[in-house]
Structure 1
Amino acid sequence: MAAGTFATFIIIGPTCFFLGMLFASFPYDYNVLWSTPADPALAFRILEDHLKFLHASPPIISRILHIVIGTGLLGFLMKLYKASESNMLFDGASLVLYMAGITVYITNIVKGLRVVTAGVYGNVDPAVDEAAGDYIGREDTLRVFAASNTILALVLVGVLVLQAGQWYALRKEEAELKEIESKAEEKKRAGKKKQ
């Protein structure tokens, strides 16, 4: 049980860490997705500057993030090694969500940071590239990035909800087992008194 608790901590810690990072970006994303600021162009420029600053951060920052993500995966491996039925259901679903989050991170967020830093949006000349109509513009790229942050946050909250659900289910099972044991003990005592 102690190993499972430690593994749960190893899953919850990185998940909360990543949620904290996403929460720090929420003020920028909010103005792009859900509100209509007085100067929309300013909101997009602020988000773009923020993303360029993040992408230009020292390599140690991304390495720490990747170590934290890997630590979460280690927690899942620890819990799924010789897993019980409860672990397979809750941790299996949590792992699927965690991997979906990693996929969103790699495909949308990392790629989006590179696109924003390079400044290569949908401003491609059709004479140079026949697929120029397939590219999206600056504002849509920034909206996709902000929406990806929101999707990732929801996925990570799902991981936390599943881990909390597993904790609750285990506590409920322990309480029921104790109740069954106490009833069996009472029956034994009643049987001894009758003899």
Structure 2
Amino acid sequence: MSKSSPFATFLIIGPVCFFLGILFSLFPYDYNVLWTTPPGDRDPYFQILENHLKFLHKSPPIISRILHIVIGTGLLGFVTKLYKPSEANMLFDGASLVLYMVGITVYVANIVKGLRVVSAGTYGQMELVEGESDAGTVPGLANDPKSGEVIGREDSLRVMAASNTILALVLVGVLVLQAGQWYAQRKEEAEIAEMDRVAAEKKGQKGAKKSQ
């Protein structure tokens, strides 16, 4: 196993921990929506989450730019570590990169689009085909073109909260793989050091026998 660059590893772990911090700050909103919402008093929790998401979506452009720079920093770390990789690097860093790309996909496909939908209030609304009438649509709801079911405000907000949870699990997976790579490298170095020590002892014993 070739020794990986500590700086490249830092370029990966830093952004992952940054994103986990953001998701942790969203967890109080998501938790009440996904798991502990009282049956008779659900709307305040959904309203709080909705207001928070609208506030995030309307944040200054510099916020999204910083976020995208941090995403690019993580990708730079993977490119650096996977440049002329060994088999072990491909195993750990390759799997980590796959998870990282899954996280980016969840972010783009679910979270970014979800923020736009929540900000506009068009929950699940699909674009109408040219000439199609929208008389049958219900305000705040939309028909799923595949199943014909109606996707409402609460379900859309639950999808947003679930996407954050999925993204957090994916990022934790990246950290676990990077930690596994570090442990494997330390283990290999310890085994090599032990082999060198045994070889040196045997060489010393042979030299002592020859001197006798």
TM-score, reference length from structure 2 = 0.87
Residue correspondences, number: 195
**C-alpha distance in 2 between matches for 1:133 and 1:102:** 27
Q: List per-residue Cα deviations over 1:9-39 (Å, max 9, x = no partner).
A: 1000000000000000000000000102362
Gaps of 5+ in 2: 145-149
Q: 1:103 to 1:179 in 2, by over 3 A?
A: same
Q: CA deviation at 1:123?
A: 7.0
Q: 3-state SS of the aligned residue for 1:39?
A: coil
Partner of 1:182: 197
Contact 1:10–1:74 (8 Å) recurs in 2? yes
**C-alpha distance in 2 between matches for 1:3 and 1:181:** 22
Contact 1:15–1:72 (8 Å) recurs in 2? yes
Contact 1:123–1:137 (8 Å) recurs in 2? no
**C-alpha distance in 2 between matches for 1:167 and 1:148:** 29
TM-score, reference length from structure 1 = 0.94
Contact 1:44–1:142 (8 Å) recurs in 2? yes
Identical-residue share of aligned pairs (%):
72
**C-alpha distance in 2 between matches for 1:11 and 1:129:** 50
- Is 1:165 matched up with 2:180? yes
Q: CA deviation at 1:169?
A: 0.3
Gaps of 5+ in 1: none
Moved more, 62-71 or 135-144: 135-144
**C-alpha distance in 2 between matches for 1:122 and 1:85:** 44
Partner of 1:109: 111
Partner of 1:7: 8
**C-alpha distance in 1 between matches for 2:20 and 2:3:** 26
Structure having the larger proportion of residues in helix: 1
**C-alpha distance in 1 between matches for 2:79 and 2:136:** 46
